[in-house]
Amino acid sequence: MTARCGRYWWLFAVLTVSGLTADLASKATVFSLLPPQHEIVVIPHFFSIFHQERLNQGAVFGLGGQWGANANQLFALVSAAAAIAIVWWITRPGHLDSLSLSSSLGLLLAGALGNLYDRARLGGVRDFLWLYYRTEPHDWASSRFDWPIFNVADMCLVSGACLLFLYGLLGPSPSTGAMATKTTGTS
């Protein structure tokens, strides 16, 4: 099975399952234990867990959120298409022979499925991780920097996209890979 699926099929599977599990478990825990609009300061001045009652119907940074349910449906379709494309991609011969490609695709699939679950079940994505800079820990007026609130699926998507970008930039070129196969096949 390893030869047919690729050397790192297990890494793809572990990252997909663990990323999806971490996303759904963290959302379930935060949103069942923390009352709406409450904040737990994890690192004073910098990082909190915040029960944001409003669901994010848009994409990254709330992009398209002003379209409401239409945005949620659009981004649910995008997530489903991405998940299908990733599954198709990994079935191609040799794609799970790369450590970085297997890692990036596993993280991307975990993130796409985590946010797709929320969109399909709840009508929007649950976000609760908040990075900011405040001069006073609980003084909203002293905020100097507020990053949009996000979740574990978003972290998987961003990490996977960065790895995929690096793979595309630094990975083997298609001509080198084809040449190596031809050279090995003739010896």
Catalytic residues: 127, 154
Distance CA 164, CA 86 (A): 12
- Phi/psi class of residue 40: alpha, beta or left (left: φ > 0; alpha: ψ in -120 to 50)? beta
Distance CA 108, CA 114 (A): 10
SS3 category, 6: coil
Dihedral sign for Cα 75, 79, 84, 85, please. Answer: positive
75, 62 contact by CB (below 8 A) = no
Rg over alpha carbons for the chain, rounded to the nearest Å, is 20
31, 122 contact by CB (below 8 A) = no
